[in-house]
Structure 1
Amino acid sequence: MVRAEGTTAERPVSAWVPLRTAVYRNLWLALFAANVGTWMQTVGAQWLLIDAPNASTLVALVQTASLLPVLLLALPAGTLADSFDRRHLLISVQLFLLVVAAALTLLTAAGRMPPALLLTLTFAFGVGQALTLPAWAALVPELVPRDQLRSAAALGSISFNAARAIGPALAGVLIARTGIAPVFALNAVAFGVFALALYRWRPENARAVEVPERFTAALRAGGRYVRHSPIVRRLLRRALVFLVPGSALWALLPLVADRRLGLDSTGYGLLLAALGVGAVLGGVLLPRVQTWLSPNQILLAAGLLFGGTLLVVGTIRAIPLVLLVLLPAGLAWVTVLVNVSAELQLFLPGWVRARGLAVYQVVFAGGQALGAFIWGVVADMAGLVTAFVAAGVLMLVGSVTSQIWRLPDLRGVAGDPATYWPRLQLAHEPDPRVGPVLVTVAYTVRPEHEREFLKAMDVVRGSRQRTGAMRWGLFREGESRERLVEVYLVPSWDEHLRQHGGRLTGADQEAEERARELADGEPEVRHLLPAAAGQAMTDDRQEP
C-alpha cells in the first residue's frame, strides 16, 4: 500500500500491543483509574456551579483553573522530571492530590464550598496534573520499545478518553442519587490507587542522573532547545491552532446540556460519554488511519470534522443528533492531539524529552485555558449560539491552513543519541561551573565549495543552539581567503561536557559531517575559558 504524498505505508502496530508489557499494563490501568476520578471531579465541580450567578463564566473557569497550573508549571515540572527520579516524583504528587481530594470531599459534605474555594482547590488539582504529565510522558519511552511508542501514545489517549466517557457518566448518576461529595471521595480513592501502583513498581534499572543539572541551567537548556528546533515549533503551532477553537466544546457543553437541551447531570454525562467513546475509537483506529492518510491530510480531515460538530452543537436542539455528532468529534480530537504528541515523543532526544513534552503541555493547557475563558465570555455577552458558530468557523479556517503550513516528515530524521565528538584533550581540567566557554572551530573551505558550506553550517548552527550554545556566529578570517571560523558561546563548562556526553543525535552528526565534507582537512577546535575565577567577557548581557 502506498500512502498519500508518495510514502510507503508500514504495517500498523496495534494500539493494544504495549499492554503485553506487564509493567506498562499495570501502570496504565492505575493511571486509567486516576483519569476516571479526575473527570468525575471536573463534572462535580461544574455541576456545583451550574446555579451560581454568572454561571457561564464560573463553569468555564473550572477548565481554566485546572489547566492554568499546567501552563505556569509544566516547564519547571519537565525540568524536575529530566533531573530526578520520575517514580519518586510521581508518588509524591499523587499523595498530594489525595490530600486535596479528601479536603474537597469533607468541605463539600459539610456545605462549606463557595465558588472561590472550589476554584482554588481545582487549581491545586491542576498543580498536581502539571507535575504528573511530563514525568509520565517521559517515562513511557522507557517502558515500551521505540516501535510501539505511537501505539503507547494512542493507549494514553484511550485511557484518558475512556475515562472521559466513564467518569462523567458515573458522576452524573452519583450526583443525581447521592450528591456531589461522593464523587469527590471516589477521586481521592483513584489517586491513592495510582500512588500504590507506582510504589509497588520496582524498576530493575532505576533511572539515575549521576550529576543532575542545576535547575535554572536545565530550565534554560530546555527552553533553548525548543526555541531553536523548527520541527518542535511547527508541531506546537499546529496543536494550538486546533486547541483554541476546540476548547469551546469542552468549556460550554454543560451550558448546552442545561439551557439548550434541557438535560440534567445524567444527560450531561451522556454527552461527555459520547465524546469519550468517539475518542476511544480514535485511539484504536489511529494506527490504521496513519497508513491511509498523511499527517497533513489527517489534520485537515479532523479539523473539518470538529468544526462541523461545533456548528451543529451550537445551533441544533435535537438531542439524538447532538449525541451522534459528538462521536466523530471525539475521534477528531484524539487523532490530532495524539498524532502531535507521538511525533514529539519520537523526535525529542532523551536528555530533553520531559522538558520538550512539558512545553507541549503548556501549549495544550494554555490553548484550552485561554480558549475556555474567551468562549465563556463570548457566551455571556453574545449567547451560546454565537460562541459556537464563531469557534466552528475559526476551526474550519485553521484546518485549511494545515495544507499551507504543513507538518514536516519525521521518518527520515535520525533522533537516536550519537557520541561522535573526539575526546577532549586539555592542558587542565576546568571546574564544571566555570563559564562562559567560547568554542572556536576553524575550517579551510575552497571558494567553489563556499556557498554549499554556508548552507550546511546553517544547519549546524541549529544543532549548536539546541544542545547548549547561547550565541553562535560564522566569521571569515581576514588573513586568509579560505579560512572560516565557527564561534559559539556555551554558558558553562558543564554545559559543554553535556554536549560531548549525550545531547547530540544522529541528525546532528549528519549535519556536521555534511559541513566537514565541504572543507579541506580536519577542522581546528579551540576551547577558550575565563582566565580567572569570576572573570569572563566584558559584555555581561544575559541570555535572552
Structure 2
Amino acid sequence: MSTGSGAHSAPAPTADDDTAHTTTGKTTMFSSLKIRNYRLFATGQVVSNTGTWMQRIAQDWLVLTLTGSASAVGITIALQFLPMLLFGLYGGVLADRLPKRQLLLATQIAMGLTGLALAVLTLTGHVQVWHVYLTAFVLGLVTVVDNPARQSFVAEMVGPDQLGNAVSLNSANFQSARLVGPAVAGVLITAVGSGFAFLLNGLSFIAPIAGLLLMRNSELYKIERAPRGKGQLREGLKYVAGRPELIWPIVLVGFIGTFGFNFPIWLSAFVDDVYHSGASTYGLLNTLMAAGSLAGALLAARRGTSRLRVLVGAAVLFGLLEIVTAFAPQFWIFAVLMVPIGVFGLTVNVTANSILQMATEPAMRGRVMSLFMMVFVGGTPLGAPLVGWITDTYGPRIGFAAGGAVALAAAIGVGVMLVRVGGLRLKIDLRPGRRHVEFVPREQLATAA
C-alpha cells in the first residue's frame, strides 16, 4: 500500500444531489479489507462491537427489570449520549490535533473498564439503577473522543480511494455484531442474568487494543493534523455552515437520530406491554433489524457512491415504515417490518457519513464528524426522555408512530431545501422510454419548454 502524501478529499457534492463521490481505484464490496491495517482494525471492531451490543441489550433489560419503566430506559440512553451533546465538538478538536491511533488505544481501554465495572456490580448483586446511570454517563464521556477519532482514522488506514467503501464496511461490521450480540445477550440474560453479558463486553475490548498495537505506522496515510490554536470550534462550525452539502445532511440525521432511532425504548415497551414477552423476544427484534441494517451497509459498500437524493429518499421511507410498523396488527408483521426499517435506517446513516467524509478537507474531518455524531447521537438526551414519556403515557404504538412522523417531516423538509438550494424543478415526462419523474436544473427545464 502506498504511504505517500496525505489524502485529499473528493469534490464536494452539489446541492442538486446528482454529484456522486467516486474513487479512482477499483472498488469492490470488500476491497478495503485487502489493506492490512484496516483488516486488523475491522477484526478488532467486530469483536468489541459484539460485546457492545450484548451490553446494550443487557443494560436496557436490567434497567427495565429494576424500575419497570420505559422512561427509565430513556434516561439511561439520554445519560449515555448527553456528553456527546455537551462536549461533542471538543472531541472533534482533539481528534484533529492528536495522533488518532494513540487516542483510540486510550478510549478502547476506558470502554473496556466501564463494562468490567458494571459486570462486578451486577454479578455481586449490588447493582442499583443509579450505577447503570453512572456507567452510561462515563461511557458517553469516552465516546465523545472515541467517535470522531475512530471515524476520521479510517482515512489514514485506507486512503482516499477506498474511503467510501471502508465507511460502508465499518457499518456492515457494526451490524454483523448486532446480529450476534442481541441473540447471545438474550440467551445469557435468560440463563444466568445480565452480569455475564457485561463481563464479556469488557473482555471483548482486548481485540481492538491488540489490533491497534499490531498496526504498522509506515503503512498509514499521513494526514496533516490541525495545530493547537484558538477559535477551532468556531472554525469548524463556520466551515460546515457555508456548505449546503454538509449542513443539510447533518440537519436531517439530527432529527432522525433524536426522534427516529429510539428503538431501545420502543422495542422494550412493545415486548413488555403489547406482546407480553421476555428478553429473548427483545433480542429477536433487534437481530431482525440488524439483519436489515447489514444488508443496507453491504449494498452501500457495493454502490461505492453517496448521493444526496439517496439520503433523502431513504429517510422518507424510514419514517413511513416506522409509522406503518407502529400499527402492525400482529407480532409477525411487526417483526418482519424490522428488516426494511434496518435497511433504510442504516442507508441514511452510511450515506450521510460518506457524503460528509468525502466532501471534507482532511484537517477538518474530526470536527465535521464530531458535529455529525453530536447531532445524530447527541440529540438522544433531548429526544429519549420525551419519547419515553410519550410511550409511557399514550402507549408504545403512539410513541413509535410519533418518532416516525418527525423523521418523515424532517426528510421532506430537507429534501425541499436541497431542491431550492440546487435551483431544481420537478420535471414530469409521461412519454414511453423516458424517466417520468425527476428533478432538473431550472435552466434545463426552461430550455426544454
TM bucket, shorter chain: 0.7 to 0.9
Q: After the TM superposition, which of the residue ranges 368-377 and 275-284 deviates more from structure 2?
A: 368-377
Look up the match of 2:164. 150
Cα deviation 1:464-516 (Å, max 9, x = unaligned): xxxxxxxxxxxxxxxxxxxxxxxxxxxxxxxxxxxxxxxxxxxxxxxxxxxxx
Cα deviation 1:30-69 (Å, max 9, x = unaligned): 0121111111111111111213346111112222122222
1:371 aligns with 2:383: yes
Distance 2:153 2:415 in 1: 33
Look up the match of 1:111. 125
Look up the match of 1:353. 365
* CA contact 2:318–2:407 (8 Å) conserved in 1: yes
Look up the match of 1:335. 347
Look up the match of 1:254. 268
Distance 2:235 2:20 in 1: 36
Distance 1:339 1:163 in 2: 20
Cα deviation 1:188-226 (Å, max 9, x = unaligned): 111122112112223116788999633644334333323
Please state how far the C-alpha of 1:393 moved relative to its aligned partner: 2.5
Letter paired with 2:308: P
1:202 aligns with 2:216: yes
What runs of 5+ residues in structure 1 fail to find an aligned partner?
410-544
Distance 2:22 2:230 in 1: 42
**Is the alpha carbon distance of 1:99 and 1:390 closer, same or farther for their aligned partners in structure 2, counting shifts above 3 Å?**
closer
1:82 aligns with 2:82: no
Structure-to-structure mapping, 1:229-378, within 5 angstroms: 229-287=243-301, 295-296=308-309, 298-378=310-390
Please state how far the C-alpha of 1:324 moved relative to its aligned partner: 0.9
Look up the match of 2:404. 392
Secondary structure of the equivalent of 1:366? coil
- Matched residue count: 404
Distance 1:197 1:173 in 2: 29
State the structure with more CA Rg: 1
Secondary structure of the equivalent of 1:113? coil
Distance 2:320 2:225 in 1: 52
Distance 2:155 2:177 in 1: 22
Distance 2:37 2:244 in 1: 35
Cα deviation 1:399-452 (Å, max 9, x = unaligned): 32343122788xxxxxxxxxxxxxxxxxxxxxxxxxxxxxxxxxxxxxxxxxxx
Q: After the TM superposition, which of the residue ranges 4-13 and 33-42 deviates more from structure 2?
A: 4-13
* CA contact 1:150–1:342 (8 Å) conserved in 2: yes
Cα deviation 1:93-115 (Å, max 9, x = unaligned): 11122222211111111111111
Look up the match of 2:152. 138
* CA contact 1:314–1:385 (8 Å) conserved in 2: yes
More strand by share: 1
Please state how far the C-alpha of 1:300 moved relative to its aligned partner: 4.3
Distance 2:369 2:225 in 1: 22
* CA contact 1:26–1:197 (8 Å) conserved in 2: yes
Secondary structure of the equivalent of 1:15? coil
**TM-score, length-scaled by structure 2:** 0.83
Cα deviation 1:229-266 (Å, max 9, x = unaligned): 44321221122233233123343211111221222111
Letter paired with 1:401: G
* CA contact 2:43–2:211 (8 Å) conserved in 1: no
Distance 2:304 2:34 in 1: 22
**More relative contact order, 1 or 2 (CA 8 Å, 6+ apart):** 2
Letter paired with 1:387: G
Look up the match of 2:6. none
**Is the alpha carbon distance of 1:212 and 1:152 closer, same or farther for their aligned partners in structure 2, counting shifts above 3 Å?**
closer
> Of 101, 104, 114, which residue of structure 2 is paired with 1:100?
114
Look up the match of 1:186. 200
Look up the match of 1:14. 28
Instruction: Indicate the RMSD between aligned Cα atoms, in angstroms.
Output: 2.7
Distance 1:285 1:396 in 2: 22
Look up the match of 2:81. 67
**Is the alpha carbon distance of 1:385 and 1:348 closer, same or farther for their aligned partners in structure 2, counting shifts above 3 Å?**
same
Distance 2:218 2:304 in 1: 34
Please state how far the C-alpha of 1:361 moved relative to its aligned partner: 0.8
Please state how far the C-alpha of 1:273 moved relative to its aligned partner: 0.5
**Is the alpha carbon distance of 1:218 and 1:209 closer, same or farther for their aligned partners in structure 2, counting shifts above 3 Å?**
farther
**Is the alpha carbon distance of 1:314 and 1:200 closer, same or farther for their aligned partners in structure 2, counting shifts above 3 Å?**
same
> Of 140, 152, 155, which residue of structure 2 is paired with 1:126?
140
Distance 2:383 2:358 in 1: 28
* CA contact 1:15–1:287 (8 Å) conserved in 2: yes
Percent of matched pairs sharing the same residue: 27
**TM-score, length-scaled by structure 1:** 0.69
What runs of 5+ residues in structure 2 fail to find an aligned partner?
1-15, 423-449
Distance 1:188 1:5 in 2: 42
* CA contact 2:70–2:265 (8 Å) conserved in 1: no
Please state how far the C-alpha of 1:18 moved relative to its aligned partner: 0.5
> Of 418, 424, 439, which residue of structure 2 is paired with 1:406?
418
Q: After the TM superposition, which of the residue ranges 66-75 and 87-96 deviates more from structure 2?
A: 66-75
More helix by share: 2
